[in-house]
Amino acid sequence: MAYETIIVEVEEGIATITLNRPAVLNALNDKVFNELGEAALSLSADNSVRVVIITGGDKVFAAGADISQMANSTAVDVATREKVSHRAFQLLENLPKPVIAAISGYALGGGCELTLVADVRIAADNAQFGLPEIKLGILPGAGGTQRLPRLIGAGRAKELIFSGDFIKADEALRVGLVNKVVPADQLAAETRKLAKRFASRGAVALRLAKASVNEGLRMDLEAGLEYEHKCFSLLFATEDQKEGMKAFLEKRPAQFQGK
Ligand code: COA
């Protein structure tokens, strides 16, 4: 599919979505949100795709929602537009395969919120994160007030949201906002290495493991454990479970077929 504001490439079962509005530091407008949503749907349905990487390239991840689009918006415009971002981000968050964000440079506002819908975040050592919306007289409206506290705790999230301050990659690692920090020139290679590791696992087990974590986080512990048990039981109906355990007993690497 041809997109205007993103580039989607698939190589060896790993899809890469690259934000592509360099003139405005990959600012996210409605077109970007819609295209991200379309890409999420299309990559969900493509069985040849095992893992998805989201990146902004090697200079900037994204400097937030497009302020020029928002500046003269009415409350009614925004009520509709925010749903556009929520829809896209929920489609990405629920994509039934691992999603890795590879972050170089600024990940601000909606850009930072976009990293939060990934399963794993890898930052280049030049990355900077922040939710500067408060400085514009608004609040993070693409999931930031909900996903960030769930990821790093309410106290740390509120400090970022109330101050609008940026934090560097090492601080983002310290507070648990990213999984790993790597030298900027190794971001793409390190991300691909992890993507390949995920891709070598069974696709059905990955899908249910992701659903178990994501759905479980929306439930109380008891319901989450019940959900996990259903996913766990279901995997015993797969060929991959038979192969995984047989391979272990035969002391050889498993060859998963995603069945
Ligand atoms: N929306 C729209 N345009 C944006 C943008 C955004 N969120 N962020 C950057 N841009 C545009 C700038 O207007 C500029 O366009 P111009 O060349 O036509 O003037 C271009 O991208 C480059 O940005 P610039 O500000 O010149 O780069 P910088 O290196 O001096 O500063 C930032 C980088 C990220 C610190 C700065 O651009 C910034 O603060 N951006 C807004 C961040 C923000 O508040 N995000 C939350 C939005 S809700």
pTM over 0.85: yes
Do residues 16 and 53 touch, judged by C-beta distance below 8 A?
yes
Q: What is the Cα 251 distance to its own chain's centre?
A: 35
Low-confidence ranges of the chain (pLDDT < 70): 81
- Ligand 1 lined by 144 (C-beta under 6 Å): no
Can you give the pLDDT at residue 78?
85
* Ligand 1 pocket mutation pick from 5, 21, 66, 67 by most atoms within 8 angstroms of CB: 67
Residue 204, Cβ density class (10 Å: 0-12 exposed, 13-18 middle, ≥19 buried): buried
- Ligand 1 lined by 113 (C-beta under 6 Å): no
Can you give the pLDDT at residue 9?
97
Query: Which amino acid appears at position 162 of this protein?
Result: F
* Angle subtended by helix axes 203-216 and 239-249, to nearest 10: 110
Can you give the pLDDT at residue 243?
96
Can you give the pLDDT at residue 250?
97
